[in-house]
Homo-oligomer: A and B are copies of this chain.
Amino acid sequence: MRQAQQTLAVNSRGRGLYEFTDRVADWVRESGIREGLLTLFCRHTSASLLIQENADPEVRRDLERFFSRLVPDGDPLFEHTVEGPDDMPAHVRAALTQTQLSIPVSGGRLGLGTWQGIYLYEHRHESHRREILLHLLGE
């Protein structure tokens, strides 16, 4: 049994979902670990992780429409507005989605279903460089 760790940088260009499934799958394959458990951890509180459908891009647009309505920018409810009207909504969206994901690995491949992709969900309007920790344990 052994483990591997890596920091992956995902560059966002404003709010939305950014798929990086292939980069994760490549790293897992190159590690040589065939059976194990992969964990992804997002080191931010205004971006998060999400597994979603990667077939129809409308799904991601609708998802964003839903979150924009549920947690409106500039909501007078919020007092923490230091970094602008999307500051606090970004923290709420991160709380409602995932900071961490674990995925079983078998035969050197991620156990994702046919339509599942791994996404960084950027909640801020400006571009950011987001760090995702990858941890793989297995043999």
User: B99 and A96: CB pair below 8 A?
Assistant: no
Select from chain B the residue with minimum beta-carbon distance to A138. B3
Select from chain B the residue with minimum beta-carbon distance to A94. B52
Kindly provide the distance from the CB of A32 to the nearest chain B CB, expressed in whole angstroms: 16
Select from chain B the residue with minimum beta-carbon distance to A104. B135
**Interface residue SS majority, chain A:** mixed
Contacts of A9 in B (CB 8 A): none
- Residues 23-69 of A at the B interface (beta carbon under 8 Å): 35-37, 39, 41, 43-45, 50-53, 56, 58-59, 61-63, 65-66, 69
Alpha-carbon separation in the docked complex, A36 to B66 (Å): 37
> What is the 8 Å Cβ interface bit string for chain A, positions 84-123, against chain B (1 contact, 0 not)?
0000100110111111111110100001111110000000
User: A66 and B92: CB pair below 8 A?
Assistant: yes
Select from chain B the residue with minimum beta-carbon distance to A50. B95
Q: A37-B135, A116-B43 are in contact. Are A106 and B61 (CB under 8 A)?
A: no
